[in-house]
Amino acid sequence: MTGRTPTMFPLSAIERPRCSKCQTLMMLARISPAGKGREERLFECPKCDHAETAIVEDPLRSKAAGWLGSELKPPT
């Protein structure tokens, strides 16, 4: 790991950013709480070993999670 570059940008629950050095899709390495409904995600590049962090809204505490408690049910 060459270092951390803190960033703040929205990421969906499955979105993986590209490495800022070599443009390879990065791998999610760790998720940590960052307070106030946010989480810190650490991404590592499998090609050049660069690491970046992103502070994002916790998807389970966001407004987007509201549908989980709705009447929406899987097909039977």
The pLDDT profile of the chain, 76 residues, written as one tens digit per residue, is 455 555 545 555 567 899 999 999 999 999 998 888 888 999 999 999 999 998 888 666 656 555 556 666 667 7
Domains of the chain: 6-59 (2.20.25)
3-state per-residue secondary structure call for 21-70: CCCCECEEEEEEEEECCEEEEEEECCCCCCEEEEEEECCCCCHHHHHHHC
